[in-house]
Structure formats: C-alpha cells, structure tokens
Structure 1
Amino acid sequence: MKALITVHRLSPTGGRRVTTRGAILGIAYDDGDLVELARSAGIDDPESLVGDDRLIEWRGGRPHQYEAA
C-alpha cells in the first residue's frame, strides 16, 4: 500500500511540509497539525493515520519530529 501522506524534511525554523498525492496540505508543527491537515484533505479517521506509519512516508527526519535541531 502506498502512503497517503508524505511528511517532508524539517524546515530550518521548525515544522514540516505535508503533502498528499503531490498536493501541498500545509505545514505541521506537531501531530495535532498533521491530523488537522489530513482531515482537511478528506482523509477518513485521520487520528488513526498518525499512529500508522505505513500510511505516512516520513522524509528527512525521524517520525513525529517537528522541531529543528
């Protein structure tokens, strides 16, 4: 199964760009933002999405990490 959401690398100032199928949903600064962005994209049950890393492709950083080092 291909990931529904892609969470891109950390921004130097914090936060991560979130896309689905190439469309930019916005910037997430925590998992709550990720849930809201998924909900706005019409993804069913976005809360369970965040807990299932098979449905999210995390690029350029650890999963669930949103703060710049």
Structure 2
Amino acid sequence: MACEHPVVVDPPDEEGGRRVRVDGQVSGRAYSVQDVVAFLQEAGLQGFDEMDVVRSSLIELRGGGPDVWAH
C-alpha cells in the first residue's frame, strides 16, 4: 500500500531540527528547507528544490510549514 505522503517532515524538536522520513525510512534531521531538499535529492528526486518542498502534495510538513524550525 502506497503512502499518501511518501515524505514526512516531523515537527521541530528542542534543537530546531525536524526528522525527515522518505518512504517510511528516516533520512536524517533537517534544520532548513535546504536540508529537506538535500535529503530528497539523495533519495533520487534530483529535480526537487525549495519550492517543491512548499508545494508538493508528496510532502507532509507536520507541526508547521516550511518556515517553522524552532520548537
């Protein structure tokens, strides 16, 4: 069964990082939209950029939008 949002960015933690999961696997902790883009590119989504993080229906930003990085 496919995920509705194959990329999930969790709410910020106490240090301002947000865990990023791609297809259910933790890719790492992002501290900015650029970090999320880097994880997506490492996962094979080479064409993704900052605006794709904001607009793509494949990405679920939990606990705040792309401008929320503080706990």
What's the TM-score bracket when you normalise by the shorter of the two chains?
0.7 to 0.9
Gaps of 5+ in 1: none
RMSD of equivalent CA atoms:
1.7
2:26: which partner in 1? 24
Tell me the equivalent position of 2:60.
57
Give the aligned residue type for 2:70: E
Does the 8 Å CA contact 2:5/2:59 hold for their aligned counterparts?
yes
CA distance in 2, matches of 1:6, 1:30: 14
Count the aligned residue pairs: 67
Distance 1:14 1:4 in 2: 22
Whose strand fraction is larger, Structure 1's or Structure 2's? Answer: 1
List 4+ stretches of structure 1 deviating above 4 A. none
Any gaps of 5 or more consecutive residues in structure 2? none
- Please point out which of 6, 9, 28 is paired with 1:7: 9
CA distance in 1, matches of 2:54, 2:14: 25
| TM-score between the two structures when normalised by the length of structure 2 | 0.80
Cα deviation digits, residues 6-59 of structure 1 (max 9, x gap): 001211111100001110111110101010010011124211531314221122
Q: TM-score, normalised by structure 1?
A: 0.81
Q: Percent identity over the alignment?
A: 30
